[in-house]
């Protein structure tokens, strides 16, 4: 039996392996590159490549790949084998520093949102030494960034790294003002909690909607859904437990800190949470986790559904982005401190996040905008589409006291004098939990809960890091000029609270009254669907933010807009076509076949005794015959709408047309098909039902 510590990281070229296999000089140079971003010279790269190759080959690898994250949202790899011909006709295993540092995948089939029209067609991948190489199957995977030859980012990693750098730069300026001379680097960390469904593979294969779209497009509500809440944290079924055990082992081998797992609210729904780590690595690990989840499921006769809303009427799956900022000296900047200065520093970072989220709500909402997530947000199961921040009662009271200039605790209610000493002292609040808030402070980190289970966490963190970097930049500009730092700091915190407290909301985010208050009284954005949300990315202030911190140029941002909108359109179109086919080729024939049985039975009964009323058959026949016509009519209506869509020009117009013309027609078609399901004999229904899927894994 291999123990977990032996297993953990056994497929990773991590620090331990580097130390053991690289010479002191090479190891130190590489460390400098990883930790301080120093440029790597080719001789070092060659030595690292040779050590990587030896290690990989010893561990059974035959190929290597530059592993990257194109804008499709999933990862891509192109495998090259290590073999190289030797003069004696045999082969040797080769891998050079050049091959490690740079690759040239044929990029022409990856979405570029128009970047390729203006820039060179080819793209190249560049090694990201801050994320360890690993072996997957028989392939050495080298995490890389993917760019065009003009330097435009064609992936999600490049802007993520840039946003981390932007935040580092501005946070260091602020920390200096507090006298933190020893801090060299500030990084953000993320722990993404991942929800998913497991369904039986044999049943899955009978459903074209699941196969083509990842979600069910039809399905009447089963007698039992999630109303009893008996699945949440319930005991795990043996088949699922076996799956989770193997999943953990596979993730541990890759150095992924899979930590907790439990059943979620909906039947067949589960969650996996890793221990948090540096954002860039957390992002790579989350992509790998999603991939391994699906691979391991296949081995257990299961399918892992990562769609945001695979079933109507039961909770969808999300991802929680737990996020914090910390220094290389080990201080979590979102954790309240012990001294007034530490507390003041904490409060400044806290209000920076509050201001960033308030000013750039649109970008955060756009970061999670997908066709699938539109079914989740605001459906009383996930946060609403309105972004607000939950702080908890204690911290809210602290901010109120600062704003009102009254003591936070203690009897005297006199006006406070300005300065750091006047900021209240308080301890960390860990009491309150609010599950309905999109953006919750949870003691020493913020938890952004709007992500769909499918989303890469990159987009969210790009926007979050950059928005906070921008606010810190403004703070640093202001405070560096201040004659009296303490007074300026106090005023800044106080003014920020006044200006941005509208985003703080500790109540029930599912409440309709809140949505009304948020939009009508507080002026918060309510971007309910992807086409609206994506519009926010092109607002001048948002473009300016990303460009000024060199995270995404206007061209890069516009290309991302195109890709995300295109993805929305394609996704819904595939769903609509799948519905049309399932209605025509499966549902209508099934209902017709049952109708003809009913008709035959009626005829036979009447032949035996013409006086028989056949009330049951006649009633059902009439209902089903009429439903058949309605299903046919609505299928045609959907088809007509799809044809009309062809005449719409422009990606923005198309996305809105899809939302307003296609989605309503899909809902109408589903409604009648689901009704037909409830009236048709079970053995006639052409595919597994909700009950089968949700309760089928035993």
Cβ atoms < 10 Å from Cβ of 120: 13
Span interacting with ligand ADP, options 84-92, 183-191, 559-567, 669-677, rule CB under 6 A = 183-191
H helices present in 37-120, as ranges: 42-58, 97-101, 115-118
184/404 Cα distance (integer angstroms): 36
Cβ atoms < 10 Å from Cβ of 265: 16
Report the nearest approach of ligand ADP to the CB of residue 506 (Å): 17
Residue nearest to ligand ADP as judged by C-beta position:
191
* Residue selected from 81, 278, 294, 444 as contacting ligand ADP according to rule CB under 6 A: 444
The interface mask with Mg ion, positions 265-304, x = CB under 5 A, is: ----------------------------------------
Report the nearest approach of ligand ADP to the CB of residue 428 (Å): 12
**Binding residue count for Mg ion, defined by CB under 5 A:** 2
Report the nearest approach of Mg ion to the CB of residue 265 (Å): 13
Task: Closer to ligand ADP by CB, 141 or 333: give it.
Answer: 333
* Residue selected from 97, 123, 129, 274 as contacting ligand ADP according to rule CB under 6 A: 274
* Residue 276 touches which of Mg ion, ligand ADP, none (Cβ within 5-8 Å per kind): ligand ADP
Angle, nearest 10°, between helix axes 457-480 and 485-500? 140
* Residue selected from 189, 287, 388, 465 as contacting ligand ADP according to rule CB under 6 A: 189
Span interacting with ligand ADP, options 317-325, 528-536, 544-552, 608-616, rule CB under 6 A = 317-325
Task: Confirm or reject binding of residue 449 to ligand ADP (CB under 6 A).
Answer: no
* Residue selected from 193, 261, 284, 692 as contacting ligand ADP according to rule CB under 6 A: 193
Task: Confirm or reject binding of residue 275 to ligand ADP (CB under 6 A).
Answer: yes
DSSP state of 238: H
Report the nearest approach of ligand ADP to the CB of residue 500 (Å): 22
Task: Confirm or reject binding of residue 634 to Mg ion (CB under 5 A).
Answer: no
Place of tokens 């602290």: 398
SS (H, E, C) 136-174: ECCEEEEEEEEEECCCCECECHHHHHHHHHHHHHHHHHH
* Residue 255 touches which of ligand ADP, Mg ion, none (Cβ within 5-8 Å per kind): none
Task: Closer to ligand ADP by CB, 216 or 279: give it.
Answer: 279
Q: Mention every residue, 6+ apart, whose C-beta is less than 8 A from residue 459.
A: 156, 367, 368
Task: Closer to Mg ion by CB, 193 or 200: give it.
Answer: 193
**Hey, which residues between 186 and 205 contact Mg ion (CB under 5 A)?**
193
Report the nearest approach of Mg ion to the CB of residue 471 (Å): 25
475/99 Cα distance (integer angstroms): 43
Report the nearest approach of Mg ion to the CB of residue 291 (Å): 22
Span interacting with ligand ADP, options 123-131, 204-212, 322-330, 617-625, rule CB under 6 A = 322-330
Q: 443, exposed or middle or buried, with CB in 10 Å at 0-12, 13-18, 19+?
A: middle
* Residue 444 touches which of Mg ion, ligand ADP, none (Cβ within 5-8 Å per kind): ligand ADP
Span interacting with Mg ion, options 19-27, 317-325, 361-369, 497-505, rule CB under 5 A = 317-325
Place of tokens 């946060």: 383
Task: Closer to Mg ion by CB, 193 or 470: give it.
Answer: 193
Report the nearest approach of ligand ADP to the CB of residue 456 (Å): 17
First to last CA, the chain: 28
Rg of the chain, C-alpha, whole Å? 28
> Is the CB of residue 478 less than 8 Å from the CB of residue 492?
yes
Task: Confirm or reject binding of residue 370 to ligand ADP (CB under 6 A).
Answer: no
Q: DSSP string of 519-556?
A: IIIS---B--SHHHHHHGGGSHHHHHHHHHTTSS-HHH
Angle, nearest 10°, between helix axes 485-500 and 393-404? 120
Task: Confirm or reject binding of residue 320 to Mg ion (CB under 5 A).
Answer: yes
Task: Confirm or reject binding of residue 273 to ligand ADP (CB under 6 A).
Answer: yes
Supply φ then ψ for residue 212, to 5 degrees. Answer: -85, -30
Q: Using DSSP, state whether 302 is helix, strand or coil.
A: strand
Report the nearest approach of Mg ion to the CB of residue 320 (Å): 4
Span interacting with Mg ion, options 223-231, 318-326, 548-556, 581-589, rule CB under 5 A = 318-326
Q: DSSP string of 343-382?
A: HHHHHHHHHHHHHHHHHTHHHHHHHT--HHHHTTTTSSSS
Query: The tokens of 536 are what?
Result: 């926010």
C-alpha of 650 from chain center: 27
Task: Confirm or reject binding of residue 191 to ligand ADP (CB under 6 A).
Answer: yes
Report the nearest approach of ligand ADP to the CB of residue 285 (Å): 11
Angle at 54 between CA 53 and CA 57, to 5 degrees: 80
| Pairing between β-strand 439-441 and β-strand 389-390 as defined by DSSP bridges | parallel
* Residue selected from 216, 280, 324, 680 as contacting ligand ADP according to rule CB under 6 A: 324
53/120 Cα distance (integer angstroms): 32
Residues forming beta bridges with residue 83, ordered by sequence position: 93
* Residue selected from 125, 148, 216, 322 as contacting ligand ADP according to rule CB under 6 A: 322
Task: Confirm or reject binding of residue 445 to Mg ion (CB under 5 A).
Answer: no
Span interacting with Mg ion, options 57-65, 314-322, 431-439, 676-684, rule CB under 5 A = 314-322
Is the backbone of residue 419 left (phi > 0), alpha (psi -120 to 50) or beta?
left
Report the nearest approach of ligand ADP to the CB of residue 330 (Å): 11
Q: Using DSSP, state whether 327 is helix, strand or coil.
A: strand
Give me the residues that bind Mg ion (CB under 5 A), please. 193, 320
Give me the residues that bind ligand ADP (CB under 6 A), please. 189-191, 193, 273-276, 322-324, 332, 444-445
């Amino acid at each position: 039996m291999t123990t977990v510590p032996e297993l953990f990281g056994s497929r990773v070229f991590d620090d331990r392996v580097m130390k053991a296999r690289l010479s002191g000089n090479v190891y130190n140079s590489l460390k400098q590159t990883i930790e301080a971003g120093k440029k790597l010279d080719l001789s070092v790269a060659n030595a690292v490549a040779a050590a990587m190759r030896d290690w990989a080959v010893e561990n059974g690898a035959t190929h290597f790949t530059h592993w990257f994250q194109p804008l499709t949202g999933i990862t891509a790899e192109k495998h090259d084998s290590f073999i190289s011909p030797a003069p004696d006709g045999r082969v040797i295993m080769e891998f050079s520093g050049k091959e490690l540092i740079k690759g040239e995948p044929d990029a022409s089939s990856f979405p570029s949102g128009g970047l390729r029209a203006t820039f060179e067609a080819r793209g190249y991948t560049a090694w990201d030494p801050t994320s360890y190489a690993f072996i997957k199957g028989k392939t050495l995977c080298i995490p890389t960034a993917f760019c065009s030859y003009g330097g435009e980012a064609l992936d999600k990693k490049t802007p993520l790294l840039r946003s981390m750098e932007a935040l580092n730069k501005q946070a260091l300026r602020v920390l200096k003002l507090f006298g933190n001379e020893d801090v060299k680097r500030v990084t953000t960390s993320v722990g993404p909690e991942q929800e998913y469904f497991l369904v039986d593979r044999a049943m899955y294969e009978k459903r074209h909607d699941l196969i083509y779209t990842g979600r069910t497009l039809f399905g009447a509500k089963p007698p039992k859904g999630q109303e009893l809440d008996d699945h949440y944290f319930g005991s795990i079924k043996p088949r699922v437990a076996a799956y989770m055990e193997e999943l953990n082992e596979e993730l541990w081998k890759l150095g992924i800190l899979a930590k907790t797992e439990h059943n979620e609210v909906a039947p067949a729904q589960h969650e996996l949470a890793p221990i948090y780590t540096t954002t860039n690595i957390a992002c790579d690990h989350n992509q790998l986790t999603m991939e391994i989840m699906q691979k391991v499921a296949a081995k257990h006769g299961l399918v892992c559904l990562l769609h945001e809303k695979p079933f109507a009427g039961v909770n969808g799956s999300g991802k929680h982005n737990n996020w914090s900022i910390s220094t290389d000296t080990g201080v979590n900047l979102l954790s309240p401190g012990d001294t007034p200065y530490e507390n003041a520093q904490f409060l400044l970072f806290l209000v920076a996040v509050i201001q960033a989220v308030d000013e750039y709500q649109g970008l955060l909402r756009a970061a999670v905008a997908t066709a699938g997530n539109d079914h989740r947000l605001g459906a009383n199961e996930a946060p609403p589409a309105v972004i607000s921040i939950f702080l908890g009662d204690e911290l809210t009271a602290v901010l109120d006291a600062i704003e009102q200039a009254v003591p936070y605790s203690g009897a005297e209610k006199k006006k406070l004098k300005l300065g750091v000493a006047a900021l209240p002292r308080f301890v960390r609040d860990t009491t309150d939990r609010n599950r309905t808030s999109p953006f919750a402070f949870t003691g020493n980190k913020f938890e952004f809960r709007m992500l769909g289970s499918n989303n890469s966490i990159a987009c969210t963190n790009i926007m979050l890091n950059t928005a906070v970097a921008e606010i810190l930049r403004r703070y640093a500009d202001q405070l560096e000029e201040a004659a009296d730092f303490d007074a300026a700091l106090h005023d800044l915190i106080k003014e920020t609270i006044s200006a941005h407290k509208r985003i703080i909301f500790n109540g029930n985010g599912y409440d309709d009254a809140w949505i009304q208050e948020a939009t009508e009284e507080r002026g918060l954005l309510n971007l309910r669907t992807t086409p609206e949300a994506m519009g926010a990315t092109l607002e001048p202030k948002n473009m300016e933010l990303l460009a000024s911190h060199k995270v995404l140029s206007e061209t890069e941002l516009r290309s991302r807009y195109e890709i995300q909108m295109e993805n929305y359109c394609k996704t819904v179109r595939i769903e609509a076509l799948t519905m049309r086919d399932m209605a025509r080729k499966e549902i209508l024939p099934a209902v017709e076949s049952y109708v003809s049985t009913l008709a035959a039975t009626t005829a036979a009964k009447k032949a035996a005794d013409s006086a028989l009323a056949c009330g049951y058959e006649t009633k059902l026949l009439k209902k089903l015959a009429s439903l058949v016509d309605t299903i046919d009519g609505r299928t045609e209506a959907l088809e007509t709408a799809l044809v009309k869509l062809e005449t719409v020009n422009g990606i923005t117009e198309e996305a809105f047309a899809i939302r307003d013309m296609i989605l309503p027609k899909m809902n109408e078609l589903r409604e009648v098909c689901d009704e037909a399901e409830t009236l048709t004999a079970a053995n006639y229904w052409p595919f597994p039902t909700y009950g089968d899927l949700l309760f089928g894994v035993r």
